[in-house]
Amino acid sequence: MEQVRIRTGRAEVVASGTVIAFEGSPIEVSFGPADNSLTLIFAFEDLEEAKDLSVAVKILGDRTLQLTLRNFNKPLGAGSTAPLHIGTFGRKRLYLHYRVFDLGTRDKTLHYTLYAGEEVQQDE
């Protein structure tokens, strides 16, 4: 079977998808070779005391990054406005673009795309 490769601009799509959170649980996305995979965790919080959108980023180890998306409860969606540089994948810069939709339940819908961009130089 032929492998599908997707490019957009100067980047190649590494992973992309849509996931509906199961009973409000965080969404974990792992990608890459099994012995060297990276994991992104998308956690959601709706806070009564604050209405503004915010993102808290936490490194949970060498290969795991958690993004806590606070007050992403808009039915028309909210998310990144440009690809976010979040690290490296192989020898390339890794970028993330995402959008979250909420239809009034605790089960958020996440659309995400991960991109491999330009090659990282040895001294970076």
In this predicted structure, what is the pLDDT of residue 116?
95
Specify if 69 maps to a domain. Answer: yes
Specify if 13 maps to a domain. Answer: yes
pLDDT over 80 at 2, yes or no: no
**18: its two tokens:** 């849509």
Residue 119 CB-half CA count within 13 A: 2
Specify if 47 maps to a domain. Answer: yes
Domain containing 81 equals: 7-119
pLDDT in tens, 13-44: 999 999 999 988 999 999 888 888 999 999 99
User: Please, are residues 107 and 22 in contact by the beta-carbon 8 Å criterion?
Assistant: yes
pLDDT in tens, 58-81: 999 889 999 999 999 888 899 999
